Amino acid sequence: MPPSASSPKQLPPVVEFRGVDFRYSTHTVLHNIHLSAERNRVTALIGPSGCGKSTLLRCVNRMNERFVGARVSQGQVFVKGKNIHDTDVDLTQLRKQVGMVFQKSNPFPKSIYDNVAYGLRIHGVTAKDILDDAVERALRSAVLWQELKDRLNQNALRLSGGEQQRLCIARAIATNPDVLLMDEPCSALDPIATLQIEELMQQLARDYTVIFVTHNMQQAVRVSDYTAFLHLGKLIEFGDTEELFSNPKQKLTESYLRGTFS
């Protein structure tokens, strides 16, 4: 029933959902999701609140599984061509290669430098020059280097909200992941900061595969190449953003876009 991977196939998918059901101990929140995200493209997940878009996003780096009883009960999730639920998959390695940014910016109460270097350090990088290099690269990618290069030892919690969120992005890309997951990254920010982040997301798409969740349809239009619309745990429609917004194939999608329900 759901209109699955109907996207053009120039590039192999980096993330692929094959008929995924997801359960929180008693009730199923995702039903039979088929979805694939292309390399170096931005994919947006939209839908009314509680539709399971965050859950879907968190399936990619298995963040959901920290809760007791939460699991993928059916189907497979493939990242870089590997089923991430295979027994030989190391969770820490998976998460190293699938970065994530959260709704509320959550820098550690450490210095800016330590925040960005954290990911590398936990993966065993100790050499000062490599760290310096990586921190600079990450901050440059997050368009923070110019602002912050002189105060890398300042506590990250002193930054403004937008800066904090970009710092979190920098932290996530410092380990050079393939995929970047963003869970409503702008919802707690003011319009100017939002704009900055949106620009950043488009730039990031050059190097990373970005999947993000948003409740703001305009944002999806502005930023994403592909959009998936979820409703009540089902993938209703997935396709090219322009196409989906200008010419939705499903009635449900249409009424959602028109604002009949939200």
Partner 1 sequence: MEERLAPLERQSLGCMLLKKKKLNALGFDTQKFIRFFFASNASVTIIVLVLIMLMLLREGAGFLKTYKYELETYRHAGLEFCDIVDRPLAQHQQLTSRLRRALGASLDTISQHARNRRDAYLNMKRQIEEESSLQREALSVALEQTPSAGDKIIEPLRTQLAIAGVKSAMSLTVRSFFSLDEADKIRAELSQLSPETKDIPAFLKQLNDHFSTSDKAAKKSFATLVKATEIFEEAPETLQEILIEIKEHVLQTKTAANEFNTLKSGRLKLLEAAENTQNPVEKADLLKEAAATQAMPVDFHQRIKLVTSRADELAEKVHQYITAIQKAAANLPTRGSPAHAIALLDEVHHELPLHVQEMQTAADEIKTWSPDKPVSFLTVIGAFFFGSNWITNSSWQDSFGFVPLLTGSLIISLIAIVIATPISLMAAIYSNQFASEREKELIKPVIEFIQAIPSIVLGFIGISVLGDLIKDVSEVTWLQWIPGFPIQERLNMFNAGCLLALMAIPTMFSLSEDALNNVPEAYVDASDALGATKLQTVFRVIVPSAFSGMAAAVLLGIGRVIGETMVVLLVAGNRIAIPDFSSGAGVVFQPAHTLTGIIAQELGEVSRGSTHWQALFMVGIVLFCISLIINWCARTFVRRFEQFKA
Partner 2 sequence: MINTPIQPKIDPANPFVGRHSRNQTLESFVRWVLRCGTLVIVSVTAAIVLHIAVKGAPVALSREWPFVNVAFLTELPSTLHVIQDNQGHIIETDVNGADAIKMELGANLREEKTISYSGGGILGPIVGTAMLVIVSVGVALFLGVASAIYLSEYASHGTFIEMVRLAILNLAGVPSVVFGLFGLGAFVLTAPVFTNSPLDRAIFTLPLGFTTLSFQGWDTCVLSGGFTLAFVILPVIITASEQCLQAVPLEFRETSMALGATRWQTIWRAVLPFATPGILTSSILGIARAAGETAPIMFTAALAFKDKLPWQKDQISLPADASLFAHWEQNIQRFLAIFTESVQALPYHIYTLAARIPQNEYSERAQYGSVFVFLILVASLAATSIWMRRSLRAKYKW
Residues near partner 2 (CB under 8 A): 62, 65, 71, 79-82, 84, 86-94, 97
Task: Calculate the alpha carbon distances from 187 to 27, 213, 254 in Å.
Answer: 27, 10, 24
Interstrand relation of 13-24 and 42-46 (parallel, antiparallel or unpaired): unpaired
Kindly state the greatest CA–CA separation across the chain: 56
Bridge partner residues of 28 (DSSP): 23
Residues 254 and 258: their CA atoms lie apart, in Å, by: 6
* Residue from the set 92, 126, 260, 262 that interacts with partner 1 by CB under 8 A: 92
Q: Which is nearer to partner 1, 40 or 97 (CB)?
A: 97
Least distance from C-beta 259 to partner 1, angstroms? 31
Interior angle at CA 26, CA 24 and CA 32, nearest 5:
60
Q: Which of 39, 108, 111, 176 binds partner 1 (CB under 8 A)?
A: 108
Q: Which does 88 bind (CB under 5 to 8 A by kind): partner 1, partner 2, none?
A: partner 2
Which listed option, partner 2, partner 1, none, makes contact with residue 185 (CB within 5 to 8 Å by class)? none
Residue 258's contacts (CB-CB under 8 Å, 6 or more residues apart) are: none
Compute the half-sphere exposure of residue 104: CA atoms within 13 Å on the CB side of its CA.
Answer: 3
Minimum distance from residue 87 beta carbon to partner 1 (Å): 17
- Contacting residues for 70 by C-beta, under 8 A, at least 6 apart: 22, 23, 24, 25, 64
Binding site partner of 87, from partner 2, partner 1, none, Cβ cut-off 5-8 A by kind? partner 2
Q: CA 105, 78, 8, 248: dihedral to nearest 10 degrees?
A: -60
Q: How far is the CB of 178 from partner 1 (least distance, A)?
A: 13
Which listed option, partner 1, partner 2, none, makes contact with residue 34 (CB within 5 to 8 Å by class)?
none
Q: Which is nearer to partner 1, 107 or 248 (CB)?
A: 107
Please state, in angstroms and rounded to a whole number, the distance separating the CA atoms of residues 82 and 211: 18
- Of the candidate residues 168, 189, 193, 211, the single one contacting partner 1 (CB under 8 A): 168
Supply the minimum distance, in Å, between the C-beta of residue 101 and partner 2.
20
Which of partner 1, partner 2, none does 106 bind, CB closer than 5 to 8 A by kind?
Answer: partner 1
Kindly tell me which of 82 and 123 has the beta carbon lying closer to partner 1.
123
Kindly state whether residue 41 participates in binding partner 1, applying the rule CB under 8 A.
no
